[in-house]
Structure 1
Amino acid sequence: MISGHYFRFMNNPLDQLSKAELIALLGVWEKELESNTKVIESKDQRIEKLEGILAKFQKMLFGQKRERFESPDQLFLPFETTAEQQQEAQQELDEKVTCVRKKSRSPHPGRTKLPEHLPVEEIELYPEGNLEEMTCIGKEVTEELDYIPGSYIIRRYIRYKYVSKVQEGKSPIAIAPLPSRLIDKSSVGNGLLASILTDKYVDHLPLYRQLQRFKRENIPIAASTLDGWARQGMERLEILYDWLVKDTCGKGYLQADETTIKVLDSTKKKDTHLGYYWVYHNPVDGTVLFDYQKGRDQAAPKKILKGFKGYLQSDGYATYEYYGNQPGVTHLGCWAHARRKFFEALENDKVRATLALAFIGKLYEVEAHCRDKQLSAKDKKSYRLDHVC
């Protein structure tokens, strides 16, 4: 803000101002300059921030997607070579090409051997004609991999009823009980039910396509019946899901993340809504748990994370921070997400971003060694402490 003294001074020529007035005017100018400098610095920072955001979106649209980083310690090939070096390189290339051509003339190693655990059906073939006056001098064996389609059967249980001969008409009827089945009072067998669930949830074959397969075999099954079998079969497996939750969350180390999935809307035909798969990984045993939720709010992971104690590793989403701050929980970050921020910072702070990426690269090398050597948790900790700290 410019004071009234400034305008009063400016109405008079500078040579008519007194020394005190000149000093006062100089002070006003210095304050004005300082204020303008702060405004310019603020705008420069905002421009730099907006340019960074613009560069980020341009890279997302037009740049390469992988976050490749070359360490500053990596050696680079010289592009300027002398004529002698070019001649040596050409001679070495000719030798390599000749070597490759010689290798290409080597015989083909043959087909991959068929697995030995499969049953073998042998079919012996003999030449046509009279073989009594001929001698067998050997044989040639040719193998092929074939498939026998699965077959449907009707398993009919016939239970005979008995009564006492002595007290006929008064004694209770004796009859053998039916074998236990997953779905009582249903016509589906355990093997068929297991096949339906495996095809749907492991091989991703929808129920309507399985229904088409039944129709090809002339087996009439209503779509509602097939849906009911799948639903009741999953209900019987719920106890396994509960144990999976217990095993996954009970080792004190849990990695969590969420991803979107399109879900068919039961209220609108051929319409979908956006749901979320919350994924939990137990690195100790390698178990993975998928928990479907309609939303991504704080209440979504409550069923799994409520009461969890130990190390929770995730990205920086606020929901994880809430559960990571609960008593008995240590919240761990994710190096992949942290690295991405430094990679994006290469555009505006290359020196420090390069230093951080090089350090993270060293950490990745340590983890790659542990993974390749298949070290135990105890050996991993020892190797990390020796090569990182």
Structure 2
Amino acid sequence: MAAENILKGFRGYLQTDGYAAYKKPGMQEGVTHLACWAHARREFYDAQSNDSKRAGEALQFIQKLYEVEREAREKGLDPAGIKKLRLDRSLPVINSMSKWIKEQLQDRNVMPNSAIGKALRYSAERWAELSNYLYDGRLEIDNNLVENAIRPVALGRKNYLFAGSHSAAKRAAMVYSFFAICKKHGVNPYEWLKHTLQNIMSINHKDIKSLYPQNFKPDM
């Protein structure tokens, strides 16, 4: 429910892991849902002890996709160049892997509840979402950037249980969010907070967005 409430009315690209709560928001009108190849890879990586041959073949397919991403970074390609490279090099790999997965799922030797069976179904059930990154060079192959950005929150989660009250926790979350925005935009949080506290009482409410961290100018 939380994901649905936050994303209600959202339009644009939505990249997530395989958590079921994102399925409904991902089907909203105007939303293009992207899955994460890092999570798909992890399923096959963990299945190596169950079926090393099939898991290894899947990892080889995925390795080729990441090689294309590495080449795009090394060449410093713009979004149009990245899209072209992906369609030329990654799309054939994805088509081959799609055919391979279907063949494995039809093999009676692959038990549905085995680790390799679950890994195959994980990707098969999200294949359109896993492929959507190909069609816009601004998109990422996985959501690792987001995962890395929220890691401090995840690591400190237990500490945030003792905010004192629900209202205090909400206020703390707002402060953490503002500081995270400062970090994203390279803004000194102390300078931003000082400027905001000095000006928030006198600014017109219609101009309140000018005090957001992303709009802060040190020379103001």
TM-score, normalised relative to structure 1: 0.23
**Relative CO higher for 1 or 2, CA cutoff 8 Å, sep ≥ 6?**
2
- Tell me the TM-score normalized by structure 2: 0.39
**Higher strand content, 1 or 2:** 1
Relative to its length, the structure with more helix (as a share) is 2
